[in-house]
DNA sequence: ACAATATGACTGACCAGTCAGTATAATTAA
DNA sequence: TTAATTATACTGACTGGTCAGTCATATTGT
């Protein structure tokens, strides 16, 4: 019976995400957000305690949705297949949620002494999921063992995140093949 | 002893680099920099016109030194060997100049409407150098052809940049081998 | 009526950049 | 040699603008 169609709250979140993805935290003002959401500044403060809290919400909310998307489809018994699946999901997330990943990129930068630190761990969650896949694969003799799984995981994520505007019909399987077989064969 | 030794200027640059590598641009104040350099705020402004100009100097100066380090050693006639050489140089730069690369990472983020845009291009220079190596290699049949050389270049850079605190004795050749042969063989 | 929601003028902290002045070294004048 | 002049390096109190957050008031919904 109480409230809400939450229309304005949604507008605020959308506007904030878009602005934070285009400029760093301190170059986005609460008034920018309010204006873009077509709402008064006070309204933003009605829905969110502070600029930090608003930012915090965007990050945790986004991470949660991405995590659940990344976890679906993993079987746990076939590392090669799980790797393929993970890469595909991650690439879909990455391309589908570009604004969010831009915000996350700011978030990932060092800035001890405020909210950020607190998310570092959660932030790495998808790395841990991938780390596990790689670790399993190494123990089963499917992947090379001369590198730490978590280092390799981060490298793979870093690699995927660097992909921009390619029109290859299936980037996902291309990347998968490159990771598995390198650049000297295939093509 | 005071005139024309650039001691303070150096101190300012060092302090600024360190601070900018730890916090985003707008969370570093000119007074922070002055304090760290053990100098008055006015002194910073004596040596640099503005905060932007100081930042600008750090970036261009760092990029110039890195570029020249990356170009030495390339032969131009053997893509496989040039790739190996590039990876080694880049990794050395990346590990040796971590503060600078952190600053650069901020720099690489979108923030249209100030200095940043202007450096985008220069910023990518080392990518172009790598792109050329890959392009040559593809034309010579050494590397797979089913991916744009510039996309691949960015992926490789992204991969290397994701390497953190690994104590493998020769990370450089490990990475080189993984890029060439993938993760299913080797180790 | 009453609570929930929304408003925007206002406040106070913070910070980039200024400026009037000091100090020290280099140059010239006596 | 030393006094006077100028150039260079440095200082920190101050200013003007910006922006997160507040609050008294208005509007809407039930």
Predicted local confidence at residue B124, as pLDDT = 63
Predicted local confidence at residue A108, as pLDDT = 58
Distance B70 CA to C12 C1' (A): 50
Predicted local confidence at residue A73, as pLDDT = 92
Predicted local confidence at residue B117, as pLDDT = 54
Strand D reaches within 7 A of the A45 CB? yes
- Nucleic chain D contacts, protein chain A, residues 8-37, CB cut-off 7 A: 26-31
Distance A45 CA to C1 C1' (A): 27
Answer for the pair B96, B90: CB distance below 8 angstroms, yes or no: no
pLDDT tens digit string along A90-113?
999 999 999 999 888 776 555 544
Give the pLDDT mean for A135-158.
95
- Residue B110: partners with Cβ closer than 8 Å, 6 or more residues away: A21, A22, A23, A102, B116
For residues B144 and A168, what is the distance between their CA atoms, to the nearest angstrom? 14
Q: Which residue is nearest to nucleotide C3 (CA to C1')?
A: A2
pLDDT tens digit string along A28-84?
999 999 999 999 999 999 999 999 999 999 998 998 899 889 999 999 999 999 999
Distance A28 CA to D12 C1' (A): 31
Predicted local confidence at residue A122, as pLDDT = 60
Is B2 a residue whose pLDDT tops 50? no
Distance B28 CA to C7 C1' (A): 34
pLDDT tens digit string along A108-141?
555 544 555 555 566 567 888 999 999 999 999 9
Is A163 a residue whose pLDDT tops 70? yes
Is B48 a residue whose pLDDT tops 70? yes
3 state SS for chain A:
CCCCCCHHHHHHHHHHHHHHHHCCHHHCCHHHHHHHHCCCHHHHHHHCCCHHHHHHHHHHHHHHHHHHHHHCCCCCCCHHHHHHHHHHHHHHHHHHCHHHHHHHHHHHCCCCCCCHHHHHHHHCHHHHHHHHHHHHHHHCCCCCCCCCHHHHHHHHHHHHHCCCCCCCCCHHHHHHHHHHHCCCCCC
pLDDT confidence band for B112 (50 / 70 / 90) = very low
Predicted local confidence at residue A3, as pLDDT = 41
Q: Which residue is nearest to nucleotide D22 (CA to C1')?
A: A42
Give the pLDDT mean for B72-77.
94
Is A148 a residue whose pLDDT tops 90? yes
Distances (CA, A) of A42 to A6, A47, A49, A92: 16, 9, 11, 36
Strand D reaches within 7 A of the B109 CB? no
CB-contacted nucleotides of strand C (7 Å): 4-10, 14-20, 24-26
Predicted local confidence at residue B119, as pLDDT = 57
Cβ pair A143:B181 closer than 8 A:
no
Q: Which residue has the higher pLDDT, B164 or A5?
A: B164
Q: Which nucleotide is nearest to B32 (CA to C1')?
A: C15
| Nearest beta carbon to residue A26 from set B26, B160, B186 | B26
Neighbours of B38 (CB within 10 A): 11
- DSSP 3-state of B100: helix
Predicted local confidence at residue B6, as pLDDT = 85
For A145, nearest residue in chain B (alpha carbons): B187
In this structure, the dihedral spanned by the alpha carbons of residues A64, A68, A69 and A74, taken in order and rounded to 10 degrees, is: 150
Q: Which residue has the higher pLDDT, B167 or A24?
A: A24
Is A26 a residue whose pLDDT tops 80? yes
Q: Which residue has the higher pLDDT, A5 or A42?
A: A42
pTM for the whole structure: 0.88
Answer for the pair A47, A9: CB distance below 8 angstroms, yes or no: yes
Is A10 a residue whose pLDDT tops 90? yes
Least confident of A120-129, A154-163, B110-119, B141-150: B110-119
Q: Which residue has the tokens 């949705």?
A: A65
């Amino acid at each position: 019976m109480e409230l809400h169609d939450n229309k304005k709250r949604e507008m605020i979140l959308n506007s904030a995400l878009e602005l934070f993805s285009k400029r760093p935290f301190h170059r986005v003002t609460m008034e920018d957000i309010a204006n873009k959401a077509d709402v008064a500044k006070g309204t933003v403060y009605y829905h969110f305690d502070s600029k930090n809290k608003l930012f915090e919400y965007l990050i945790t909310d986004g991470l949660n949705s991405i995590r659940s998307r990344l976890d679906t489809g993993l079987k746990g018994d076939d590392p090669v297949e799980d790797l393929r699946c993970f890469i595909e999901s991650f690439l879909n997330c990455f391309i589908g949620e570009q604004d969010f990943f831009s915000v996350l990129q700011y978030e990932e930068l060092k800035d001890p002494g405020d909210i950020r630190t607190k998310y570092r761990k959660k932030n790495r969650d998808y790395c841990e999921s991938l780390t596990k896949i790689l670790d399993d694969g190494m123990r089963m003799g499917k992947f090379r063992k001369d590198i730490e799984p978590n280092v390799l995981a981060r490298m793979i994520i870093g690699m995927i995140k660097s992909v921009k505007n390619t029109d290859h019909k299936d980037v996902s399987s291309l990347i998968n093949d490159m990771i598995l077989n390198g650049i000297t064969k295939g093509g």
